[in-house]
């Protein structure tokens, strides 16, 4: 029996999770929320995490009923992510490991999402669509690595959604992406947007720039409205609807191409954007047409959390992975395919 505690803080979520042999004992989390129209900056996000992490740690220990002496290893997010928040949480994990006299393991954030998704959904060997605020990747496992078949060549899909939410001044509570999803349900008209798939890769920055020109004239440049024809009128709801439909169609296309290449019959959606019901619906239609199965998790596990770091660390620890103290640093750019997957059999 191995009990693992995990610390996650790569972006605006700070979480602590505890697992015991694949069983979730605690999953405590808080979010740093900024005012509408503003993003979260690295320095302020790190300050938030430092101010809240000990309280969250206490809650996780209370909920799990686990004493520090029972924990076998302390895990933390090594990367990728924003450097100040990553560093703040890594320092806490190192300190806790030293006080409790426990070994420490740094976990790849993306691997945490994948392994948590596999645990919760029981997917065996899926093609993985990893979509979040900082990452957009299509992944498949082969030869002890999670291989990246396609990815964004500029900004992540979650970053695209978040930035558009700031343009139209949507609330960041509970998240910009969630609020865009709710507005999109009220959209009636589809606005033609750039569709940018380049082989297996995607580009989202041009779509955002195009939408910025569509949204801002209504708010700041009323003169430009007089030049628009009757057929060019749209609401913020229409733009949210159109943005979702376009972005998600790009994800479905590239995911299906990866499935065809690998012969996969399973799709697993992980990451914060994976909570989006419309994305799950569109991916589900594609999977049904191919005779494949779709797997997804709810907001407890698709949004950044400490338990995914704990579970991935549990997989690493029981397969013999160890980390020297001098290596317990952070790596802001830590790619998914850099990690040797020692816990899976080919």
For residue 181, say whether it is annotated as part of any ligand binding site: yes
The pTM assigned to this predicted structure is 0.94
Q: How confident is the model over 267-315, as pLDDT tens digits?
A: 999 999 999 999 999 999 999 999 999 999 999 999 999 999 999 999 9
For residue 276, say whether it is annotated as part of any ligand binding site: yes
For residue 169, say whether it is annotated as part of any ligand binding site: no
Q: How confident is the model over 32-53, as pLDDT tens digits?
A: 999 999 999 999 999 999 999 9
Tell me which H or E stretch contains 153. none
- From 3.40.50.2300, 3.30.9.10, 3.50.50.60, 3.30.420.40, which CATH number describes the 3-114+303-327 domain? 3.30.420.40
Tokens of 235: 């609401």
Confidence of residue 346 (pLDDT cuts 50, 70, 90): confident
For residue 17, say whether it is annotated as part of any ligand binding site: no
For residue 132, say whether it is annotated as part of any ligand binding site: yes
Instruction: Map out the domains of the chain as residue ranges.
Output: 3-114+303-327, 123-218+234-301
pLDDT of residue 226: 44
pLDDT of residue 214: 86
Above pLDDT 70, what percent of the chain?
A: 95
Nearest C-alpha neighbor of 184 from the set 240, 248, 245: 240
Confidence of residue 215 (pLDDT cuts 50, 70, 90): confident
Nearest C-alpha neighbor of 29 from the set 215, 237, 308: 308
For residue 133, say whether it is annotated as part of any ligand binding site: yes
For residue 62, say whether it is annotated as part of any ligand binding site: no
Helix, strand, coil shares of the chain as percentages rounded to 5? 50, 20, 30
Q: How confident is the model over 152-179, as pLDDT tens digits?
A: 999 999 999 999 999 999 999 999 999 9
Residues 254/138, Cβ–Cβ less than 8 Å: yes
Assess whether pLDDT exceeds 70 at residue 324: yes
Sign of CA dihedral 147, 149, 153, 159: negative
Please spell the DSSP secondary structure of 121-135, one letter per residue. H--SSPEEEEE-SS-
Residues in the chain: 346
CATH 1.10.10.10 fits 123-218+234-301, yes or no: no
For residue 130, say whether it is annotated as part of any ligand binding site: yes
Residue corresponding to tokens 């009636």: 188
For residue 261, say whether it is annotated as part of any ligand binding site: no
Q: ∠ CA(335), CA(339), CA(21), 5° rounding?
A: 120
For residue 49, say whether it is annotated as part of any ligand binding site: no
């Amino acid at each position: 029996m191995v009990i693992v505690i995990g610390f996650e803080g790569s972006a605006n979520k700070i979480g602590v999770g505890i697992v015991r042999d694949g069983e979730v004992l605690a999953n405590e989390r808080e979010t740093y929320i900024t005012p509408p129209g503003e993003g979260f900056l690295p320095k302020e996000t790190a300050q938030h995490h430092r101010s809240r992490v000990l309280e969250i740690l206490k809650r996780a220990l209370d909920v799990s009923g686990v004493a520090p002496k029972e924990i076998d290893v302390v895990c933390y997010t090594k990367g990728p992510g924003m450097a100040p928040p990553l560093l703040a949480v890594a320092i806490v994990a190192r300190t806790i490991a030293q006080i409790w006299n426990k070994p420490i393991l740094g976990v790849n954030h993306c691997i945490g999402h994948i392994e948590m998704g596999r645990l919760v959904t029981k997917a065996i060997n899926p093609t993985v669509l990893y979509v979040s605020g900082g990452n957009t990747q299509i992944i498949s496992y082969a030869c002890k690595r999670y291989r990246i078949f396609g990815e964004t060549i500029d900004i992540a899909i979650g970053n695209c959604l978040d930035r558009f939410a700031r343009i139209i001044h949507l609330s960041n509570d509970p998240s910009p992406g969630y609020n865009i999803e709710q507005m999109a349900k009220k959209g009636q008209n589809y606005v033609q947007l750039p569709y940018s798939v380049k082989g297996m890769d995607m580009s989202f920055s041009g779509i955002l720039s195009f939408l910025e020109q569509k949204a801002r004239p209504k708010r700041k440049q009323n003169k430009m409205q007089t030049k628009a024809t009757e057929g060019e009128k749209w609401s913020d709801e229409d733009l949210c609807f159109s943005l979702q439909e376009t972005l998600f169609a790009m994800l479905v296309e590239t995911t299906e191409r990866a499935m065809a290449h690998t012969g996969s019959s399973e799709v697993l959606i992980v990451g914060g954007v994976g909570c989006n019901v419309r994305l799950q619906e569109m991916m589900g239609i594609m999977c049904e047409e191919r005779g494949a199965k779709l797997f997804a998790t709810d907001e407890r596990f698709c949004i950044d959390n400490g338990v995914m770091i704990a579970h991935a660390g549990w997989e690493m620890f029981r397969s013999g992975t160890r980390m020297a103290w001098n290596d317990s640093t952070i790596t802001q750019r830590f790619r998914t395919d850099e990690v040797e997957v020692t816990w899976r059999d080919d």
